[in-house]
Amino acid sequence: MSGMNKRILLKSRPVGEPTKDNFELVETPVPTPGPGEFRVKVIYMSLDPYMRGRMGAEKTYAANADVGETMVGGGVGVVEESNNDQFKQGDYVMCATGWQSYCLSDGTGVMKLDPDRAPISTGVGVLGMPGLTAYYGMLEIGKPQAGETVVVAAASGAVGGVVGQIAKIKGCRAIGIAGSAEKCAFVVDELGFDACLNYKSAEFEEELAKACPDGIDVYFENVGGKVFEAVLPLLNDDSRMPVCGLISQYNMTDLPVGTNMLPALMRSVLTHRILIQGFIISFHFHHLPAFLKDASGWIREGKLKYREDIVEGIENAPEAFMGLLKGKNFGKLLVRVADDPTRK
């Protein structure tokens, strides 16, 4: 064991968009595992939109990060030293690492990873929390039926990309929405969506309606804002809307200026019998075995593809995270904290 433990702390709570001043990089001694514990050297750290909510003081579904404490988050790494019989030195694991280069664990919530089955980075991506989010939300709430039209917000992202591919596996038309021509091309050419629209286009609403001539049966929501406003008039009778995120609203400090959409929404919910159901994937981890079985098989069969956006160095995590909230990432956003000996 050598070196120091680099940690990114929450220095202050952001008002609106996070800034670099809200974070602090510190170095502390590498922790030593106590009885029943083991130390993980972090290789990849995951950056996810939900972390913005953990930075605030408002009460949410999970505990907020405390000012002065390590930023919360998951990652994958290798066990360096262990006092736990279930985890031995050299095991690759996915766990709650936080934004740091080393962490301790007692094994709670830890999943072992087999680098011979899939790259270990997928443990926080397509075969991790984002993939499970897509799987549960789409199949348990969206309930896609062959021939239906499925629209996916943030379609080039870690969750949206999987949602659309599951839609295709189930025999649906998959229409993606993304924020650039490059991302839209990837969604169609690489992920196999039927179409993908750039929400920044001046004709976005008209283009979406043209791409969905039979309306929308399932809309997978993780953005909100103008995207949802364009989707709402196209929702069919008995349509379903899984809601796992609202990234366009995370940095808001006040209600948006403009037309109040709530009356139109409630009228549509009633007259078209629309199901809108929010979910937090941490309450549904019992679906993990079925997800891993299905998703691993789809990857082997070439039916499920993914893209990773890897940033080098933990010191660059704050800037990458701020970019994530603005849609600057392209695929699942990871920070490589240490060399990955399994990557060939």
Max mean pLDDT range (46-60, 167-181, 224-238): 167-181
DSSP 8-state assignment for residue 272 = T
Q: How far apart are CA 30 and CA 227, in angstroms?
A: 45
Would you state the pLDDT for residue 249? 59
In this structure, the chain runs to a length of: 344
Amino acid making up residue 304? L
DSSP 8-state assignment for residue 141 = I
Q: Cα dist. 119→7, 74, 96, 335 in Å? A: 25, 16, 18, 15
- Fold for 129-282, please state it: Rossmann fold (3.40.50)
Q: How far apart are CA 21 and CA 12, in angstroms?
A: 7
What's the whole-number mean pLDDT along residues 183-208?
97
Indicate the pLDDT class of residue 46, thresholds 50, 70 and 90.
very high
Would you state the pLDDT for residue 120? 96
pLDDT, tens digit, for every residue of 226-267? 899 999 999 999 999 999 877 655 555 566 666 777 888 899
Radius of gyration of the chain (CA): 20
Instruction: Find the Cα–Cα–Cα–Cα dihedral 246, 249, 254, 257, rounded to 10°.
Output: -100
Q: How far apart are CA 49 and CA 317, in angstroms?
A: 13
Q: Which of 221-225, 226-230, 311-315, 316-320 has the lowest mean pLDDT?
A: 221-225
For the domain covering 4-125+306-336, report its CATH number: 3.90.180.10
String of DSSP letters for 38-82: EEEEEEEEE--THHHHHTSSS--SSPPPPTTSBPP--EEEEEEEE
Q: Is residue 254 packed enough to be buried (19+ CB in 10 Å), middle (13-18) or exposed (0-12)?
A: exposed
Domain chopping of the chain, boundaries: 4-125+306-336, 129-282
* Domain pair 4-125+306-336 / 129-282, same fold: no
